[in-house]
Chains A and B, each alone.
Chain A
Amino acid sequence: MYVAVKGGEAAILATHDLVAEERRGDVSVPELSVAQIREQMQLAVARVMNEGSLYDEDLSALALKQAQGDMIEAAFLMRAYRTTLPRFGSSVPLDTSNMAIRRRISATYKDLPGGQVLGPTYDYTHRLFDFALMASGEAPEAQTSADRLDAAMPRVPDILGDEGLMEAELPPEGDPRPFDLTRDPIEFPADRDVRLQTLARGDEGFLLGLAYSVQRGFGGNHPFAGEIRLGEVAVEFVPEELGFAVDLGDITLTECQMVNQFQGSKDQPPQFTRGYGLSFGHAERKAMSMAILDRSLKAREFGEAADYPAQQEEFVLYHADNVEASGFVEHLKLPHYVDFQGELELLRKIRREQEERAATMKEAAE
């Protein structure tokens, strides 16, 4: 019997082998270990944890290795693995006011209780190549101050809140369990828990571009970086059978609280409003962008006109997910020849009819 040639299966298997070979690169160069990626590519590891919605530095490093450093592909690996994990409960809400601070800055006060703590940052580096890194073997050691940081590091919006100048942030009535974006489909209008979860896993580049658009004028808010803090926070869980909180371990977080002006309305006096950003690991650009968008998406709550993309929640929340976006954009690589045949057939038919009509009219004119 005659059958269509089956090239598909063998070719697919061959692509897997090819990609494995390309991933390894020149075998005379030592292979990267997952531990090396975890320790020396920490910011990439953090980004993959954020966009992969899973806090696991080892798996994130493995994902980066397996994906040849492709961030979105690595986040995709994390997401697919995450689906198979059982969900045994929700942690106690994290208390970022009790963070073990490594960096904490405020742009709204020259000094404040706890002080400005610069910590590790590229902010004041000159972007000049450090060619010494081309060689290896250095084990740099930073000098830290002998003074201990203040035990109390109040969060800036809390300071403003005490004065009544900051939009109050209260849990919704009854303090219901938050929506879980990974278990339930998003619906609109979306509540703030949905928004923050979507932004937290959203693509850093997409969020950054939209936040920038708000600053440039495609949105009405002028944000101040009230505070950015980086450090470790304990995750606690209350097992039902114990009835008290158990410490599961520490995670590294970056938190950003933006302070924005608000004109006030007939019900509310003028006050500052907040935008909130939180990300895994050290990810300030992400946390700041998220905070700006959290605020711009409050347009509906504050009765502001939603004229710009960054204020339109369906636009922002539906398109921020890079794993979904790349899947759909790249699905155009799949065969579409059945539909294309339909378009071809229609186009030929319409043109044939037009030519016939033109010929008839020409004849009639002659």
Chain B
Amino acid sequence: MNTPHHDPDYNFGYLDEQTKRMVRRALLKAIAIPGYQVPFGSREMPLARGWGTGGIQITAALIGPADTLKVIDQGADDTTNAVSIRRFFERVSGVATTELTEDATIIQTRHRIPEKPLEAGQILVYQVPQPEPLRKLEPSEAETRKMHAWAEYGGMYVRLYEDIARYGHVATTYSYPVLVNGRYVMSPTPIPKFDNPKMDDMPALQLFGAGREKRIYAIPPYTSVKSLDFEDHPFTVQSWTEPCALCAANDSYLDEVITDDRGGRMFVCSDSSYCEDRRAKGHVGKELATAEALAYVGHVEGGSDVA
């Protein structure tokens, strides 16, 4: 954790106060209508479209000097774009940053929800590439807005049904559509469907920013979020036959790591903070030693990282 001061060449949080107010208004509207996509005057940011500009604008509009920020991509704090976004906020806001889920007041994420349950008072900011869950059914924005207005979601169920008929399963493994507060079908962003149940009744506030598509949406705390399914084909999440190779967790989402060119692989927690925390508490996965030998994980003494 560090607390550098913010770059005086830029306003605190990069955006000017008028723009922050515009974003906050959109956020309030989004919270008032859970799951509804609110158009907003998305600004062009110094990071590329598709690289988190929606989430960055929400974080920039919310962040205050007392906040502690965590940024993850694929569940991990050390992925390149998470590092880049964290560095951006260190520069333009100077707020404290952390890798510990429980220490963060704002968590900006791409593609994951942390394994550790979030608490009331925390804010989870999702980066959204495509906010429209119906886009694959209907390319026109004018049409999909009407479909939402009329709650015309039959086509979505037909699509899920066709998957079951063809493959025996719903072939959507991420961006799995959800129904928010019994009204709007919403894209949970490309999180794995494994994370969908965490959204339901979550004590933390969930905010979604799509910078390129210029939309903001939200799920207020303790709101019903149901993954679309059928009575005879209930929604299920991914499962693995083995626990995390590093920390032996059997309740986390696992990434596959290729360890050699002879088909060797191991499965490890995608949430790096969760995995580190477990290992610090003495949990040892069966391939931790191998991982250390491959320098996939380093042995740390005295708190400094060994790369």
Q: Which residues of A contact B84 (CB under 8 A)?
A: 12
Judge whether B149 is part of the interface by a CB distance below 8 angstroms. Answer: no
Q: How far is the CA of A4 from the CA of B84 in the complex (A)?
A: 17
Q: Which residues of B contact A343 (CB under 8 A)?
A: 173-174
Judge whether A112 is part of the interface by a CB distance below 8 angstroms. Answer: no
Q: Binary interface profile of A, 1-19, with partner B (CB < 8 Å = 1, else 0)?
A: 1111111111110000000
A311-359 interface (Cβ within 8 A of B): 314, 318, 323-324, 326-331, 334-339, 341-346, 349-350, 353
B180-213 interface (Cβ within 8 A of A): 190-194, 212
Q: Which residues of A contact B73 (CB under 8 A)?
A: 334-335
Interface residue tally for chain A (C-beta within 8 Å): 52
Chain-B contact segment, one of A37-45, A75-83, A210-218, A220-228: A75-83
Judge whether A187 is part of the interface by a CB distance below 8 angstroms. Answer: yes
Judge whether B161 is part of the interface by a CB distance below 8 angstroms. Answer: no
Q: Which residues of A contact B307 (CB under 8 A)?
A: 5-7, 10
Judge whether A145 is part of the interface by a CB distance below 8 angstroms. Answer: no
Q: Binary interface profile of B, 108-130, with partner A (CB < 8 Å = 1, else 0)?
A: 00111000000000000000010
Q: Given that A314-B142, A327-B51 are contacting pairs, would A350 and B168 also be in contact in the complex, using a CB cutoff of 8 Å?
A: yes
Contact A314 B44 (CB under 8 A): no
Contact A5 B298 (CB under 8 A): yes
Contact A80 B300 (CB under 8 A): no
Contact B40 A185 (CB under 8 A): yes
Contact A342 B174 (CB under 8 A): yes
Q: How far is the CA of A326 from the CA of B44 in the complex (A)?
A: 13
Q: How far is the CA of A11 from the CA of B215 in the complex (A)?
A: 33
Q: Given that A83-B44, A328-B50, A337-B255 are contacting pairs, would A2 and B173 also be in contact in the complex, using a CB cutoff of 8 Å?
A: no
Q: Find A1's partner among B50, B270, B280 (CB 8 Å cutoff).
A: B280
Contact B276 A2 (CB under 8 A): yes
Chain B interface category by residue count: 35 or more
Measured CB to CB, the closest approach of chain B to A68, in angstroms, equals 17
Contact B238 A345 (CB under 8 A): yes
Judge whether A189 is part of the interface by a CB distance below 8 angstroms. Answer: yes
Q: Given that A8-B83, A339-B174 are contacting pairs, would A330 and B48 also be in contact in the complex, using a CB cutoff of 8 Å?
A: yes
Q: Find B44's partner among A8, A182, A336 (CB 8 Å cutoff).
A: A182
Judge whether A188 is part of the interface by a CB distance below 8 angstroms. Answer: yes
Q: Which residues of B contact A360 (CB under 8 A)?
A: none
Q: Given that A4-B275, A323-B44 are contacting pairs, would A345 and B140 also be in contact in the complex, using a CB cutoff of 8 Å?
A: no
Q: Given that A7-B307, A338-B192, A344-B256 are contacting pairs, would A83 and B43 also be in contact in the complex, using a CB cutoff of 8 Å?
A: yes
Q: How many A-B residue pairs have CB under 8 A?
A: 177
Question: Main SS of the interface on chain B?
Answer: loop
Contact A334 B276 (CB under 8 A): no
Q: How far is the CA of A318 from the CA of B132 in the complex (A)?
A: 14
Contact B44 A82 (CB under 8 A): yes
Q: How far is the CA of A142 from the CA of B66 in the complex (A)?
A: 64
Q: Find A188's partner among B14, B46, B141, B299 (CB 8 Å cutoff).
A: B141
Q: Given that A3-B298, A4-B78, A185-B41 are contacting pairs, would A76 and B48 also be in contact in the complex, using a CB cutoff of 8 Å?
A: yes
Q: Which residues of B contact A9 (CB under 8 A)?
A: 78, 83, 87
Q: How far is the CA of A338 from the CA of B272 in the complex (A)?
A: 12
Q: Given that A76-B48, A339-B111, A339-B192 are contacting pairs, would A4 and B43 also be in contact in the complex, using a CB cutoff of 8 Å?
A: no
A5-35 interface (Cβ within 8 A of B): 5-12
Judge whether B162 is part of the interface by a CB distance below 8 angstroms. Answer: no
Known A323-B44, A343-B174; 18 more pairs at CB < 8 Å: A1-B279, A2-B297, A4-B298, A5-B307, A6-B307, A84-B10, A84-B16, A86-B16, A188-B140, A328-B49, A335-B74, A338-B191, A339-B111, A341-B254, A342-B173, A344-B256, A346-B171, A350-B169
What are the nearest 10 A-B pairs in CB distance?
A: A327-B49, A342-B173, A331-B50, A327-B48, A328-B50, A185-B214, A185-B39, A8-B83, A80-B46, A79-B44
29 A-B interface contacts by CB (under 8 A): A2-B288, A3-B297, A4-B272, A4-B296, A4-B297, A5-B305, A5-B307, A6-B78, A8-B82, A11-B80, A80-B44, A83-B43, A84-B14, A189-B142, A324-B50, A327-B53, A328-B49, A330-B50, A336-B190, A338-B190, A338-B191, A338-B253, A339-B192, A341-B256, A342-B238, A343-B173, A345-B240, A346-B173, A350-B169
